[in-house]
């Protein structure tokens, strides 16, 4: 698919094209900034998942003042000390101590590895979410862009109708002054001109509202100003010979299921949940660790003793075997929910593709009739003017004919914009961005 804008529009100072609107949105839209930050946070959590097997270290120093009264404890000292007479003194003694220690859990039999895999899949899901938000923002920008063009086309049609109403008023005035038409014709022409002025004002309000919507979609601080290039989209897959091809919808749906970022995000979340399930099932696995320490201690700073220690051990959290069961049940339910969401999203994707294809087909089917309507409306308006000038028709007939040609032109232009928007929606459903 390509979005086409003529070089004259691309070079015009202050002119907007679909490409420029999308590029500005990628740079300014706050939704895109927020989702990118969320993806960065998810990637950072991968390192956090590795923390159980990252060596830890600590350094501490202390000074203590305490008495040195001895209290025998059964089982800790020889029995003869238990019968010794206790002494009591309030004389304090100083004790200095400094040390460093480190611990490394070098094996937990797959528990940390499963948690790391869960974090990696969660990060991949966050990246897919970011791409999906880009798809949604792109469609918002294109839809808002199309709405501006449609509103401006309505303004042009309303202005043409107003100019024609002004011409008819002058014609009616001349006919009334020449006593060729009754005064009612002039009153009718004045009323028609007033209605046309109101229609122009309403159309202008729609243009302002649509430009504000485009401003919000892009993320600009000031409303979009300047002319907009025509919106024209070309998609080879939606060519007439392919649009109604057998199995086209099934083929598109299958391709979209492989490409659509929402589905990829759900698949990554299911993989993350499966990794979480594996980590929870391994919660009761033992862990092997090494522990080292170095201490410097003594009652005097000039006579402190230095000691080294190295230990290896195993930690076996047996109670996690039953404590993790509620978490395991919750994860399994979450996996089933993700499976259902993926199936629902595939059906939604198929419906979106079918709606876009139907919209394109309907516009193309309607366009020849609109072209014919425009041609006949122009001839009818010409004939009505001739008949009115000859006194064979009323002003109402001329007004109706003028309204008919304005509406035919507007409907033909809006049909082109509707087709471009339908192609954009098809592209969004297929996750194909420019």
Question: How much of the chain is helix, strand and coil, in % rounded to 5?
Answer: 70, 15, 20
DSSP code of residue 310: E
CB crowding 26-65: b at 16 or more within 10 Å, else e: beebebbeebeeebeebbeebeebeeebeeeeeeeeeeee
- Residue 69's pLDDT is 77
* Residue 424 contacts residue 233 (beta carbons within 8 Å): yes
Distance of CA 168 to the CA centre of its chain: 52
Q: Which residues pair with 221 in a beta bridge?
A: none
For the chain, how many residues are written?
Answer: 434
DSSP code of residue 127: H
- Residue 2's pLDDT is 46
Distance CA 311, CA 369 (A): 89
Paired sense of beta strands 93-107 and 305-315, if any: unpaired
Q: Rounded to a whole number, what is the largest CA-CA distance in the chain?
A: 142
- Residue 77's pLDDT is 63
Q: Average pLDDT for consecutive 10-residue bins of the chain (434 residues)? A: 44 75 93 92 91 90 84 67 65 88 90 92 93 92 92 88 84 81 84 89 93 93 89 82 84 90 93 94 92 90 88 92 93 95 93 92 90 87 80 74 81 87 89 80
- Residue 8's pLDDT is 44
- Residue 399's pLDDT is 77
Concatenating the DSSP letter of every residue in 242-280 gives HHT-TTHHHHHHHHHHHH-HHHHHHHHHHHHHHHHHHHH
Cβ neighbours around 350 below 10 Å, total: 18
Distance CA 5, CA 386 (A): 40
Helix or strand (DSSP H, E) at 354:
helix 325-389
What are the residue ranges spanned by the domains of the chain?
15-56+94-429
Which residues make Cβ contacts (< 8 Å) with residue 174, sequence separation at least 6?
A: none
- Residue 342's pLDDT is 92
Helix or strand (DSSP H, E) at 97:
strand 93-107
- Residue 75's pLDDT is 65
DSSP code of residue 142: H
15-56+94-429 belongs to which homologous superfamily? Answer: Outer membrane efflux proteins (OEP) (1.20.1600.10)
């Amino acid at each position: 698919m390509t979005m086409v804008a003529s070089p004259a529009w691309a070079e015009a100072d202050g002119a907007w094209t679909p490409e420029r609107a999308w590029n500005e949105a990628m740079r300014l839209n706050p939704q895109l900034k927020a989702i990118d930050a969320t993806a960065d946070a998810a990637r950072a959590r991968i390192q956090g998942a590795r923390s159980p097997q990252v060596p830890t270290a600590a350094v501490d120093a202390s000074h203590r003042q305490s008495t040195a009264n001895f209290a025998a404890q059964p089982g800790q000292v020889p029995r003869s000390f238990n019968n010794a007479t206790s002494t009591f003194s309030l004389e304090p003694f100083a004790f200095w101590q400094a040390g460093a220690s480190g611990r490394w859990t070098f094996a937990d039999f797959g528990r940390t590895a499963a948690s790391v895999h869960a974090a990696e899949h969660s990060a991949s899901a966050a990246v897919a979410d970011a791409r999906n938000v880009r798809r949604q923002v792109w469609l918002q920008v294109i839809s808002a862009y199309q709405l501006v063009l449609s509103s401006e086309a309505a303004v042009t049609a309303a202005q043409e109708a107003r100019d024609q109403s002004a011409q008819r008023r002058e014609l009616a005035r001349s006919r009334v002054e020449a006593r060729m038409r009754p005064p009612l014709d002039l009153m009718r022409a004045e009323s028609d001109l007033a209605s046309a002025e109101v229609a122009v004002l309403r159309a202008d309000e729609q243009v302002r509202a649509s430009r504000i919507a485009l401003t919000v979609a892009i993320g600009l601080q000031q409303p979009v100003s300047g002319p907009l290039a025509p919106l024209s989209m070309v998609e080879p897959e939606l060519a007439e010979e392919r649009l109604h091809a057998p199995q086209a919808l099934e083929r598109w749906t299958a391709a979209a299921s492989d490409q659509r970022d929402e589905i990829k995000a759900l698949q990554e979340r299911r993989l993350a949940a499966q990794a979480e399930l594996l980590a929870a099932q391994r919660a009761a696995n033992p862990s092997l660790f090494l522990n080292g320490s170095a201490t410097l201690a003594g009652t005097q700073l000039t006579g402190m003793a230095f000691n080294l220690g190295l230990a290896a051990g195993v930690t076996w959290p047996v109670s996690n075997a039953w404590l993790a069961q509620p978490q395991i049940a919750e994860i399994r339910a979450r996996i089933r929910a993700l499976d259902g969401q993926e199936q629902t999203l595939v059906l939604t994707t198929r419906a979106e593709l079918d709606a876009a294809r139907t919209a394109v087909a309907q516009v193309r089917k309607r366009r020849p009739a609109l072209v014919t309507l425009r041609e006949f409306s122009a001839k009818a308006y010409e004939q009505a003017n001739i008949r009115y000038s000859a006194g064979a028709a009323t002003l109402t007939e001329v007004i109706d004919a003028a309204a008919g040609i304005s509406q035919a032109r507007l409907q033909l232009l809006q049909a082109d914009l509707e087709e471009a928007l339908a192609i954009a929606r098809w592209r969004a459903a297929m996750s194909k961005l420019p």
